[in-house]
Each structure stands twice: as C-alpha cells, then as structure tokens.
C-alpha cells in the first residue's frame, strides 16, 4: 500500500469540494450515528465554510488524505483554538472502505506534526457520546475526557477530549 498523502483542500476548488463530499458520502454510518441522518449533499461545503468563534480561514485547515491519488479520508483542524496553545480537531473521518487500516493513526501523526510546528502544546477534540468507535479510537491514541456538554441538534452529549503533544 502507498503512503498516505495529505493535501490541504480549498473551498474555492471544485475538485477539492467533490473529493471531500465523496468522503462524507462514503461514510454514511458516521453521519447516521452522530447526526441521525445521511450526509447532506452539501456536507463538504458546510465543512469547508464552518468556523468557530473568533477564528478566520487562515487558521482553518481541511485536509484530504489520499492513497494512490484517491481520496480516502479528511480532517478539519483549527490552529489556536480554543486557546492559542491548542489545535482543535473538528473532524477526522475516513470512508468506510478505508477504515480499520491504520490510516486514522497516520493522519493523526500528520496533525501532531503540524500542531507542533505551530507551537501548540495540546490537541483537543469533541466526540459525540454515542460514537463508540470514535471514543475507542481517540482513547487508544491517548486522549482523555475533560468534560461533557449538551450538543443541540445531536442525539447525544459532546465529550471534550485532549492530549498533550
């Protein structure tokens, strides 16, 4: 198998938007589990446009992860959120036919490397509580639960997790 290649995706590139949408379409079980519905037809555009408070696009990084020039997964990473010393993973997702092959670990290594380069000391993320496969993955990668909060519009609470770099 070839090595995983990361490519930053732009909301202004129709090919990148189509590639990202193919990841969402290829992971319907994730959408059903955490949102209670199939992926929206504009899920990629929503992912590329969404920003947390007080963050602008230069600090938002959406990556496509490719194997042999075929997109397999994606990540949404925010630099300096929610605090300057943090990187926040908003999403790490692989299409179902690429899951359970170690690609998530490889993508996380890429994110760790980036975050260190940004001067971050910690990575944070949120996992919807009913996403058992996600909780197992993140816990195995050394992330620990920090808190829980209600997430309006989602079927379960959001578990906030973190890990030092």
> Contact 144/163 with Cβ under 8 angstroms?
yes
Global pTM? Answer: 0.94
Q: Name the average pLDDT for the chain.
A: 95
Q: In Å, how far are 11, 58, 75, 133 from 128, measured between CA atoms?
A: 26, 27, 16, 10
Chain center to CA of 146: 18
Reported as a single tens digit per residue, the pLDDT across 108-147 is 999 999 999 999 999 999 999 999 999 999 999 999 999 9
First to last CA, the chain: 28
> Contact 161/125 with Cβ under 8 angstroms?
yes
- Res 26: pLDDT: 97
- Res 55: pLDDT: 94
Residue that the structure tokens 């992971």 belong to: 27
> Contact 43/67 with Cβ under 8 angstroms?
no
* Spans of the chain, pLDDT less than 50: none
Pairing relationship of beta strands 144-149 and 158-164 according to DSSP bridges? antiparallel
- Res 151: pLDDT: 83
């Amino acid at each position: 198998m070839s090595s995983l290649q990361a490519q930053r995706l732009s909301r202004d590139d129709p090919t990148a938007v189509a590639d990202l949408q193919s990841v969402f379409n290829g992971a319907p079980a994730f959408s059903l589990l955490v949102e209670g519905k199939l992926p929206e037809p504009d899920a990629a555009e929503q992912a590329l446009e969404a920003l947390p408070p007080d963050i602008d696009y230069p600090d938002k990084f959406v990556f496509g992860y490719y194997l042999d020039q075929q997109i397999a997964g994606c990540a949404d990473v925010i630099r300096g959120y929610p605090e300057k010393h943090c990187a926040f993973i908003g999403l790490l997702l692989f299409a179902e036919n690429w899951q359970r092959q170690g690609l998530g670990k490889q993508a996380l290594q890429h994110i760790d490397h980036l975050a260190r380069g940004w001067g971050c000391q910690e990575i944070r993320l949120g996992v919807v509580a009913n996403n058992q496969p996600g909780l197992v993955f993140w816990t195995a990668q050394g992330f620990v639960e920090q808190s829980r909060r209600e997430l309006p519009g989602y079927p379960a609470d959001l578990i906030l997790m973190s890990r030092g770099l």
